[in-house]
Chains A and B, each alone.
Chain A
Amino acid sequence: MLVCGGTGCHASAGELLFENLKKEVQENDLKDEVQVVATGCFGFCEKGPIVKIIPDNTFYVQVKPEDAKELVSEHAIKGRKVKRLLYTDPVKKEQIQDSKHMGFYKKQLRIALRNCGMIDPENIDEYLAADGYEAMGRVLLEMKPEDAIQEVLDAGLRGRGGGGFPTGLKWQIASKNHADQKYVVCNADEGDPGAFMDRSILEGDPHTVLEAMVINGFCINATKGLIYIRAEYPLAIKRLKIAIDQAREYGLLGKDILGSGFDFDVEIRYGAGAFVCGEETALIHSMEGERCEPTFKPPFPAQSGYLGKPTNVNNVETYANIPVIFNKGAKWFASIGTEKSKGTKVFALAGKINNVGLIEVPMGITLREVIFEIGGGIQGGKKFKAVQTGGPSGGCLTDEHLDTPIDFDNLLAVGSMMGSGGMIVMDEDDCMVAVSQFYLEFTVEESCGKCSPCRIGNKRLYELLGKITKGQGTEDDLDNLRNLSDVIKDSSLCGLGQTSPNPVLSTLDNFYEEYLAHVNEQKCFAGQCKELIRYEIIPENCVGCTVCARNCPVNCISGERKQVHTIDQSLCIKCNACMEKCKFNAVTII
């Protein structure tokens, strides 16, 4: 008997249920036959607490502690399912007997991550056994380049690096430009804070990227592939190198691949880890040994890219989808997702969420399902405040956006973006002004400096936000924030500058009250802006245990044993140590 031990189920008396089940098993002398085990979150918190019986996969929902007796006496002893606790399908209105038939498993579908955590990434044989290089073989030997491109077009795959440009179209354009040498480039310069899907794919399934690059090369008649990866991903680099060597040994890279007459080989190029290198023209300049600055498009890389030759750049996750499209067919791929965004997207869940990690969901799933079901809700049972999607280029969305189906166009429409798939969840303790300041700090750091609006404008935005978090802002500053943001967006050359004000604009739109409280009342309700808060001791709660005074790094708390303590505000550095250590809730933020 598997009892969910996730936070959600714990909150609804799951712990007592667990104890009761154990007791019942003990009392009925079933210790040798039945085992009660607490598990991680099932991701079905809404219907918790969950009990799953194996091996028959019966799935019980909303089980109360007092149901333990019946579960043991009916299911465990007599082998009869307790019908009233079975999960009822909300659409078909029938009871589900077996968890394998439950729709909620369909919330996550692993296409790009299909082999991650399944195969040994350093052993090509395991990849071959999992249909590896078969798509490549069929494309090279049985298809014409234009038909293969048509397959990718029909699948409706869009670039997973953030822009969402149709991949098939990109290939088609590159295929039509003729030159003596063309290039295929894999963009592995993952730079969004908190996003690590590309790294995980390269670490867990490097061959899938190589296979897709060969297919890409064949389609556009390029014989050279380059992988641009940041040097700070040493494990991914190591595994890529192993994969390239193994593929060469098997003749899956190199001359006359599988007797098709097509030659293709891959090399690795290292980046120093600059965010702007995710932009394709900057990436190409960096590979050429130039400064990593974006240049004006056109000419697009498809016309004149690496060393002035036609070049096709795609992101790691985009490539990871390619072999599956050929193995399962464009029609199958296009059946997943929404009208304009097909397939799945990998997200890196981070922030104040219980199940931090990588997930892969079909396009069209709602933010609510991702955060509260797959992600297991907010840590410590706190209140959800906002979710930031798309990293420094995206925006902060609120409760009212939770039911928005996630795809490229919907996220843009509500003022954020898909980006590369970072998803940072914030709770009531996060100050939205401080959050946008954090992102601006990143952008200021990462701006290449080519365009003045981005180089100087972002710095000014950052300073304005700093002024507001210190309580020195005015309502005029809020207007200036917006005006300056619009100018930066409109007058920057590349995606970095065009999107960098998004965190500011979206928080201004969705959390204007919070900005007003900072400028008009000099208050930060989340208690994050240090200059606007002070720590006080509540005399009624203080027992005079001296713990706070002993833990204060600047010795600003005084008071005798068993007497109410006081904080000297002139010395306090607002480090929060007293509040963390106090067992009597006697320290508060005002």
Chain B
Amino acid sequence: MTKIKSLADLKKMKSDLQSKISLREKSENPEGKVVIRVGMGTSGIASGAKEIMEFLMEETEKRNVDAIVTQTGDMGYSYAEPTVEVKLPDQDPVVFGDVDKKKADNIIEKYIKNGELLDGIIPQNYETIDKK
């Protein structure tokens, strides 16, 4: 990694990274990639998020689903761990709660492949700050 030497460098790097991330999500094929985030805080891991993340990584590859599986911190829904957020290209992200292997399988087969929603979605009930 190279060092960031000035504020201008930092800002340039930010916009590069932002476009790289949006490119990663949209690139290659017109439909773009699916981004799957698994809530990997202590409470998520304690309820089995690690196994779910491994399962999602293996299965998306096996079933030829063009998806990025990544980890993130605690989403705050302790009552519904493990939690998984799926963002289909050009759609609002959807959070699934109480994800076990069966549900993870349904997420791939029903939601990602067919856009069919599943029971047990956690509705977003907070506001985010628009960055600047």
Contacts and interface: CB of A to CB of B under 8 A. Distances in A.
Interface of A: 2, 4-5, 35, 37-44, 52, 104-111, 113-122, 125-126, 128-134, 137-138, 140-142, 196, 199-201, 203-205, 233, 235-236, 246, 249-252, 258-259, 324, 327-328, 354-360, 374
Contact of A130 (B73, B124, B131): B131
A205 B4 contact: no
A5 B119 contact: yes
B121 A40 contact: yes
Given A122-B71, A200-B76, 11 more contacts: A2-B121, A39-B120, A39-B121, A40-B121, A43-B125, A44-B125, A108-B126, A117-B74, A204-B41, A358-B74, A374-B125
24 contacts: A2-B123, A105-B126, A109-B126, A115-B73, A116-B74, A116-B76, A117-B39, A117-B76, A120-B37, A120-B71, A121-B73, A126-B21, A134-B14, A138-B7, A142-B7, A200-B73, A201-B73, A203-B41, A203-B73, A236-B42, A249-B1, A250-B4, A258-B5, A360-B76
Given A39-B122, A40-B97, A129-B17, A250 B73 contact: no
Contact of B129 (A203, A233, A324): A324
B129 A109 contact: yes
Given A203-B73, A250-B1, A105 B127 contact: yes
B113 to A, nearest CB: 14
Contacts, number: 177
The binding surface of chain A is classed by DSSP as mixed
Nearest to A118: B72
Interface in B103-119: 116-119
A366 B122 CA distance: 23
B5 to A, nearest CB: 5
Nearest to A251: B3
Interface string B3-46: 11111011101100110010000000000000001011111010
Given A42-B123, A118-B72, A199-B42, A328 B10 contact: no
A120 B76 contact: no
A110 B3 contact: no
Contacts of B118: 37
A194 to B, nearest CB: 11
Contacts of B6: 141, 258-259
Contact of B79 (A110, A111, A357): A357
Pairs A-B, 8 closest by C-beta atoms: A204-B73, A251-B3, A117-B75, A108-B126, A358-B76, A357-B78, A129-B17, A200-B74
Nearest to B116: A35
A527 B83 CA distance: 36
Contacts of A4: 123
B13 A128 contact: yes
Interface residues of B, number: 52
B106 to A, nearest CB: 12
Contacts of B97: 40
B77 A357 contact: yes
A131 B11 CA distance: 9
B79 A327 contact: no
A108 B126 CA distance: 4
Nearest to B13: A128
B14 A109 contact: no
Contacts of A141: 6-7
Contacts of A35: 116-117
B119 to A, nearest CB: 4
Contact of A37 (B13, B85, B117, B124): B117
Nearest to B45: A235
B128 interface: yes
Contacts of B3: 249-251
Nearest to B22: A129
A10 to B, nearest CB: 13
A321 to B, nearest CB: 11
A201 B83 CA distance: 17
Contacts of A203: 40-42, 73-74
Contacts of A125: 17
B102 interface: no
Contacts of B1: 246, 249-250
Contacts of A43: 123, 125
A140 B10 CA distance: 13
B80 interface: yes
A359 B122 CA distance: 14
B127 A106 contact: yes
Interface in B55-88: 70-80, 83, 85
Contacts of B5: 251, 258-259
Contacts of B4: 250-252, 258
A590 to B, nearest CB: 34
B78 A358 contact: yes
B10 A137 contact: yes
A38 B119 contact: yes
A120 B127 contact: no
B80 to A, nearest CB: 6
B52 to A, nearest CB: 15
A555 B100 CA distance: 39
A118 B73 CA distance: 7
Given A354-B79, A357-B78, A358-B78, A205 B73 contact: yes
Nearest to B75: A117
Contacts of B116: 35
A116 B75 contact: yes
A232 to B, nearest CB: 10
A259 B4 CA distance: 9
